[in-house]
Amino acid sequence: METREELEALFASGRHGPDTFFERFVPGRSVSVGGVTAGGGRVAAMVYDYAAQRSTYGPATALAPFDDEPMVPLIAATVDTLGLRGLFNLGYRHDEAGRFLVHDVNPRVWGSVAASLPFGNSFFASYAALLQGRPDAVVAGYPAQPDAV
């Protein structure tokens, strides 16, 4: 479904129930953000697109990181607003009006985290430091810089 009218027609037909889930389609490029947060805006993250994937629904086996500078303050604001601490992965799109729409929130390790290692991102080291009570060891950066842990 691609329009609000289509969605409303499905609701009106009685097809919405506990076994049915509807969501609005947002055209545009879907992008992922993976990282670790210690809260208070302290986020080490990497924005990326899938460069290679072994199956349609599986995790990426290679990533194509890129700089999406307008997203920088929104990443920290999103994870802080949600109260996330630790590893996270967000999926978002830019809609036609230029807004950022988060469509997926995973407060956990994500499938393609290993594919970020060649880019110098040590999210596991930051997470381990966070678990040890050392939130200052989470090296805030965008894209993430190698951790000094």
Tell me, what's the pLDDT at 110? 82
Structure tokens at 141: 């950066």
Q: What is the pLDDT of residue 146?
A: 38
pLDDT for res 145: 40
pTM over 0.75: no
Q: Are 33 and 90 in contact (CB under 8 A)?
A: yes
The pair of structure tokens assigned to 62 is 């290679």
**Is the pLDDT confidence value at 108 over 70?**
yes
Please, which residues bridge with residue 87 across strands? Answer: 36
Q: Is the pLDDT of residue 83 over 90?
A: yes
Q: Which residue has the tokens 């460069």?
A: 51
Taking residues 122-128, report their average pLDDT: 84
